[in-house]
Amino acid sequence: MSRYYLTTAIDYSNGDPHIGHAYEKVGADVIARFHRLAGDDVHFVIGMDEHGQKVAQEAAAQGRSPQDLVDELAARFEAVWGRLHISHDDFIRTTEPRHTTAVQALVRRIRDAGDLYEDRYEGYYCTGCEAFKREAELEDGKCPIHPSREIVWTEEENWFFRLSAYRDRLLEHIEAHPEFVQPESRRNEILRLLEGGLEDISASRSRVPWGVPFPDEDGHTVYVWFDALPNYISAIGYPGDGFADTWPAALHVIGKDITRFHCVIWPAMLLSAGLELPDVVWGHGFVKIGGGKLSKSEAKQLDLDQLIDRHGPDAFRYFLLREIPWDRDRDFPSVEAFLDQFDERYNSDLANDLGNLLNRTVAMARKYRDGAIVPPGGTALDDAIDDALETYVDAMRQHRLHDGLDAAMTIVRAANGFIDSEEPWKLAREPKRAERLDAVLAALARGLATTAVLLQPFIPAKAAEMWERLGGDEMPALAELPHRLPTALPERADSVLFPRFEREPRSG
Long-range contacts of 75-83 (CB under 8 A, 24+ apart): 76/16, 76/17, 77/11, 77/17, 77/21, 77/48, 80/17, 80/21, 80/22, 80/304, 80/305, 81/25, 81/46, 83/305, 83/308, 83/313
- Of 99, 129, 220, 252, the active-site residue reads 129
* pLDDT for the residue 155: 73
Q: Residue 33 burial by CB count (10 A; 0-12/13-18/19+): exposed, middle or buried? A: buried
Q: Is residue 313 part of a domain?
A: no
- 363 and 235 inside one domain: no
* pLDDT for the residue 505: 67
Tell me if residue 21 is catalytic: yes
Per-residue confidence band for 146, with pLDDT thresholds at 50, 70 and 90: low
DSSP state of 222: E
- 166-209 pLDDT tens trace: 999 999 999 999 999 999 999 999 999 999 999 999 999 988 89
- 267 and 145 inside one domain: yes
- 189 and 86 inside one domain: yes
- 358 and 433 inside one domain: yes
* pLDDT for the residue 290: 92
Per-residue confidence band for 390, with pLDDT thresholds at 50, 70 and 90: very high
CB contact at 8 A, 194 and 170: yes
Q: Cα separation of 187 and 280, whole Å?
A: 11
Domain stops at, among 255, 285, 315: 285
Tell me if residue 263 is catalytic: no
Q: What is the dihedral of CA 205, 211, 214, 217, to 10 degrees?
A: 70
CA-closest candidate to residue 442, choices 431, 432, 427: 427
353 Cβ neighbours under 8 A, 6+ residues apart: 409, 412, 413, 416
Q: Is residue 491 part of a domain?
A: no
* pLDDT for the residue 506: 61
Per-residue confidence band for 152, with pLDDT thresholds at 50, 70 and 90: confident
Domain stops at, among 252, 268, 285: 285
- Between these two residues, 141 and 356, which has the higher pLDDT value? 356
- Other C-beta atoms closer than 10 Å to the C-beta of 152 total 12
Q: How many CA atoms lie within 13 A of 143 on its CB side?
A: 19
- Per DSSP bridges, beta strands 251-255 and 201-202 are unpaired
Q: Is residue 501 part of a domain?
A: no
- Of 85, 256, 288, 293, the active-site residue reads 293
- 388 and 257 inside one domain: no
Q: Is residue 264 part of a domain?
A: yes
- Of 25, 88, 99, 143, the active-site residue reads 143
DSSP line for 473-506: -SPPPGGGGGG----B--SS----SS----PPPP
Whichever domain contains 353, its CATH number is 1.10.730.10
Maximum C-alpha span of the chain: 90
- 417-459 pLDDT tens trace: 999 999 999 999 999 999 999 999 999 999 999 999 999 999 9
- 69-94 pLDDT tens trace: 999 999 999 999 999 999 999 999 99
Alpha helices in 257-330 (DSSP H): 259-260, 266-273, 296-301, 304-311, 313-323
Per-residue confidence band for 346, with pLDDT thresholds at 50, 70 and 90: very high
Rounded to two decimals, what is the model's pTM?
0.93
- 248-279 pLDDT tens trace: 999 999 999 999 999 999 999 999 999 999 99
* pLDDT for the residue 297: 77
Q: What total number of domains does the chain contain?
A: 2
- 349 and 260 inside one domain: no
Q: Cα separation of 252 and 9, whole Å?
A: 7
Q: Cα separation of 480 and 502, whole Å?
A: 39
- Between these two residues, 428 and 474, which has the higher pLDDT value? 428
Q: Is residue 503 part of a domain?
A: no
- Whether the per-residue pLDDT at 97 is higher than 90: the answer is yes
412 phi and psi angles, rounded to 5 deg: -65, -45
- 250 and 384 inside one domain: no
Helix axes 401-422, 434-455, angle to 10 degrees: 160
Tell me if residue 54 is catalytic: no
- 355 and 272 inside one domain: no
- Whether the per-residue pLDDT at 508 is higher than 70: the answer is no
* pLDDT for the residue 294: 77
Per-residue confidence band for 139, with pLDDT thresholds at 50, 70 and 90: confident
- Whether the per-residue pLDDT at 157 is higher than 90: the answer is no
- 267 and 338 inside one domain: no
Q: Which residues span the domain enclosing 402?
A: 334-483
- 274 and 405 inside one domain: no
- Whether the per-residue pLDDT at 288 is higher than 70: the answer is yes
Whichever domain contains 178, its CATH number is 3.40.50.620
Q: Is residue 325 part of a domain?
A: no
- Of 25, 54, 126, 252, the active-site residue reads 126
Q: Residue 253 forms beta bridges with which residues?
A: 8, 282
How would you classify residue 456: left for phi > 0, otherwise alpha for psi between -120 and 50, otherwise beta?
alpha
- Of 85, 142, 146, 288, the active-site residue reads 146
- 275 and 342 inside one domain: no
- 23-62 pLDDT tens trace: 999 999 999 999 999 999 999 999 999 999 889 999 999 9
User: To the nearest whole percent, how much of the chain has pLDDT over 90?
Assistant: 81
Number of residues assigned to the chain = 508
Q: Cα separation of 163 and 102, whole Å?
A: 20
**Average pLDDT of the residues in 142-156:** 73
CA-closest candidate to residue 455, choices 360, 316, 314: 314
Q: Is residue 416 part of a domain?
A: yes
- The mean pLDDT of the chain is 93
Q: Is residue 361 part of a domain?
A: yes
Terminal Cα distance for the chain, rounded: 59
* pLDDT for the residue 14: 87
- 106 and 203 inside one domain: yes
Per-residue confidence band for 125, with pLDDT thresholds at 50, 70 and 90: confident
* pLDDT for the residue 483: 82
DSSP state of 440: H
